Structure 1
Amino acid sequence: MSTSTIAQTRLRGRVIQAGFWWVSGYTVNQVLRFAGNLILTRLLFPDAFGLLAIVQTVILGFTMLSDMGVAPCIVQNKRGDDSAFLNTAWTIQVVRGCLLWGLLWIASKPSAAFYEQPLLAELLPAAGLTALITGFNSTKLATADRHLEAARVTLIDLGSYAFGLVITVLWAWAEHTVWALVWGSVIGAVTKMFASHLALHGVKNWFHWDDASARTLFGFGQWVFVSSLITFLAGEGNKLLIGAMLDIHQLAFYTLASTMNVMFMQACQQVAAKVLFPSYAEIIRNHPERLYGALEKGRLAIILPGWLVAVFFVFLGDTVMRLFYDARYADSGTMLQLLAIGSLSAVMSLSYAGVLMAKGMVGRSAMLQAVQVLIQIGAMLVGHQLSGVYGLMVGLAVANWIVYFVVAIVFARLSLWHPRVDLPFLGMSAVVLFLAINYGLLPTRG
């Protein structure tokens, strides 16, 4: 067996192992979150969760709008194992964390006044400590991602979250205060930070500045910033737009349906970001001629289960929602079925995640993302104008199909489109849609 064949076999083994750990970790994390929510909702007053939601939204906004893409750059770049590069990246990360905390201090009083919640002036700076602490996380986390060493990272993520959750529950049981949610998160962040330095292999971090490394990091990071800005505007902007077009009850139905529809997609995104992206980057660095075949296999591994879940929701989405929720939420089943029609193609677009970034085409990735957002907004507005709530749901579904064809064109120009994977799924999706409409299983009312 040749050296290249052995390397390829080893990479495949690491990909499978990393995928197992990330999927297992994601599943356990969701179970912990669900269990934690069930316990905490019985220990705390509802307003506590409303306050925390505002805090998390503000922190998320500042975090995304200052994202420099340090971790993805370490994974992708050829110098990703060089100590000067890693310590420069860590220095940038620490400075960003300090600036984020300072900005949250500044934003705390205006946020409290805007939401008419005086307690936010105290909560935001305290919760913002997580941004400061995260800035000190070791670059060993990114190094582990780069080399697909997922086991320890997964255990660190789960262990730190579980420890923070235990502290939160005990604090809430003793004090019944929103501060339990805040300090539980901070303690979890501290635990992960120390574990990242002590429990992983790699370069020990200290303050260092290398001009060449900084230029590379900032060059990569400027497009990651644009991408994060688009992602934030797409997420929050779509929520605001949909909220403006639906009444409060319809918005509740949509939220339930959308959450159910994207649950599996989020797992796929985790695998794409934490497993496939590092593996593509390694292949591009060492054997770029193998990217087409590796991408084809990686895409199929995401498309097949995601497509089957979408088919399940197309035919049984209404039944699922009636099973989990009472008759007041019946309309969410119809919405889930329509959203699932879009997911049939969305999973094919999602399966390309990480490829452009692995190739260093961060700018093209950001532009493609911007086009996707514009298509989605346009389809939503047209659909709502033509047929109200039903048209809005159809518009969201149609947008995913249009986006797929845009993505296919982009990757065909890069000689990375896979017709023997995509065409059968497109054909089967057409059959699914025909059967659902022909047998009255899919709502067709305006």
Structure 2
Amino acid sequence: MSLRRRIFGGGALLGAHHVVHEVLRFARNVIVARILAPEDFGVAATFWITTGFLATISELGFQQLLIQAPDGDSERFGATIQTMMTARSLLIAIVIFALASPVATMFRVPEATWAFRLLAIVSVLSGFHHRDMTRFKRALRFGPAIVSDLVPTVVTTALAWPIVAYVRDYSAFVWLAIIQTGLSTLLSHMLAERPFRLGWEWTVVRRAFGFGWPLLLNSLLMFAVMQGDRIVLARAYTKAELGLYSVAIGLAMMPCGMVMGITSQLLLPVFSGFQESRERFESLYRLYAQCAAAAGLMLGALFFILGPALIALVYGAKYALAGTVVGWLAAAQSIRLLRAAPTTAAMALGDTRNSLMANVFRQSGLLLALVAALAKAPLVWIAIAGVVGELVALSASVMCVRWRHGLPIRAAASPAAVLFGGLAFCAGIARSGLAPSSLLTASRILIVLLGASSAVLLSVSPELRRQLRIFALPLARRLSLTSL
């Protein structure tokens, strides 16, 4: 099989896996939320904030090194990396268990101390995940890793209702995580080709730390971007408000996460292949920005107009207040989707500073969220702070890619202007109370808004118009021949 076909096939497989995984995880959260109260969902959010932070401050890219290193297939190299991965997970488990009480007190949930300690089991189990699931990716063999990830997700989604119905509190999240991690680790050993071995070689250890330490700063910034607002909420707002916010952000992030997960894996190699052709590279950059703006506009409009009705329909009336923030959270994700265009273009040119710089500026949103929390502002202002932070980060990314690589500002600015205008209009409708509560009526309004916005976007997007013509002409010919 040719390399191109392997890349395309692997990309398609990863894309399908990403979509299925996100849908299953979303379904599992919906099942849990329908049974538990928002307060329990808020307590569960503190679990993932804690484990996510500990994983972030110890992230040294061991798995990436196993894929990237020329000698990553050697047994001695792999055994050393396996030891470091296992030691990292065991260390995280010890920290979680030891600090369970002060962490639970910090988040104002001392009654959940026992559940925090139980989380240590998840980290222990993950530490013995077989490295072969990562090593296979060196040869673009993604199947075993997908199976070891997807099967446990299917199982825990199926078990969600009986477990939650039995325990009926926040500990359901912990039990499901233990089952999923344990099953994933078991499958990794069943699918592995080599025996599980630990080893130690100082040259590999030094290489691993040299490779991974620069990743720590960006990982910490990304943690602040993804979890910073919920840390603020956990300290300054009630558990119920944290639960409502977590439900809303989970719904808003799901479609954006799927789109970004697929495009980042498929478009980075394409950008890299056009490095020698400046004209084609810039054309692809413009097209990516235009498509990202179109997708972001659809997502933002969807959640501003239909978000409250969707929240009530999917999660139930007890989570209805989450509808007040879901539109703004989706708007932030829409802008983040557009930010992927300059970030991916810069990365294809070997520039990893663009993402780092953008994430530094993104912290402006966290600062605004802190101000809003200190002022005891309504929950919606925490979400609006995230939108402002994404706007600042997008501007920084576009300017950075212009200064460092000469890519035109207009390529992203024109689609961004249409995106911002469309989101502002939708926000105005939602804010004014004109958005109807009826799902059918809201859907009709959404279709009209998307039609008008698409027309404006196409008027400033020549690359997008060209690609639509390329796609539409053969289709029109086939339809005309069929009618004859």
Fold match by TM threshold 0.5: yes
Alignment of 1:256-275 (within 5 A): 258-271=249-262
Structure 1-normalised TM-score? 0.73
**Residue 392 (structure 2) aligns with:** 402
Cα deviation, 1:140-178, whole Å, max 9, x if unaligned, reads 222234443333322221102223444555555566676
Alignment of 1:5-404 (within 5 A): 10-11=3-4, 13-40=5-32, 49=41, 51-112=43-104, 120-167=112-159, 169-172=161-164, 181-200=173-192, 204-241=195-232, 258-271=249-262, 303=289, 306-325=292-311, 343=333, 345-351=335-341, 364=353, 367-368=356-357, 370-377=359-366, 396-404=386-394
Tell me whether 35-44 or 159-168 shows the greater mean CA deviation. 35-44
Tell me whether 297-306 or 99-108 shows the greater mean CA deviation. 297-306
Check 1:93–1:256 CA distance in 2 against 1; reply closer, same or farther (3 A cut): closer
Cα deviation, 1:93-114, whole Å, max 9, x if unaligned, reads 1111121121122113334555
Q: CA RMSD in A?
A: 4.7
Q: Distance between the aligned counterparts of 1:331 and 1:403, measured in 2?
A: 29
Q: Distance between the aligned counterparts of 1:84 and 1:304, measured in 2?
A: 47
In the TM superposition, residue 135 of structure 1 has moved relative to its aligned partner by: 1.4
**Residue 457 (structure 2) aligns with:** none
**Residue 430 (structure 1) aligns with:** 417
Q: Distance between the aligned counterparts of 1:418 and 1:242, measured in 2?
A: 39
In the TM superposition, residue 70 of structure 1 has moved relative to its aligned partner by: 1.0
Contact 2:152–2:184 (CA<8 Å) still a contact in 1? yes
Check 1:393–1:150 CA distance in 2 against 1; reply closer, same or farther (3 A cut): same
Contact 1:134–1:189 (CA<8 Å) still a contact in 2? yes
Contact 2:62–2:208 (CA<8 Å) still a contact in 1? yes
Structure 2-normalised TM-score? 0.69
Contact 1:79–1:85 (CA<8 Å) still a contact in 2? yes
Cα deviation, 1:16-75, whole Å, max 9, x if unaligned, reads 323332332233233333443454456667776555443333222222222222112223
Gaps of 5+ in 1: 1-5
3-state SS of paired residue (2:200): coil
In the TM superposition, residue 259 of structure 1 has moved relative to its aligned partner by: 4.2
Gaps of 5+ in 2: 433-484
Q: Distance between the aligned counterparts of 1:396 and 1:410, measured in 2?
A: 21
Cα deviation, 1:322-346, whole Å, max 9, x if unaligned, reads 4324699999777555566655543
In the TM superposition, residue 82 of structure 1 has moved relative to its aligned partner by: 3.5
Specify the code of the residue in structure 1 equivalent to 2:361: Q
Specify the code of the residue in structure 2 equivalent to 1:350: A
Tell me whether 78-87 or 238-247 shows the greater mean CA deviation. 238-247
Specify the code of the residue in structure 2 equivalent to 1:54: T
Aligned positions, number: 426
In the TM superposition, residue 89 of structure 1 has moved relative to its aligned partner by: 1.2
**Residue 477 (structure 2) aligns with:** none
**Residue 3 (structure 1) aligns with:** none
Contact 1:298–1:351 (CA<8 Å) still a contact in 2? no
Q: Distance between the aligned counterparts of 2:329 and 2:13, measured in 1?
A: 29
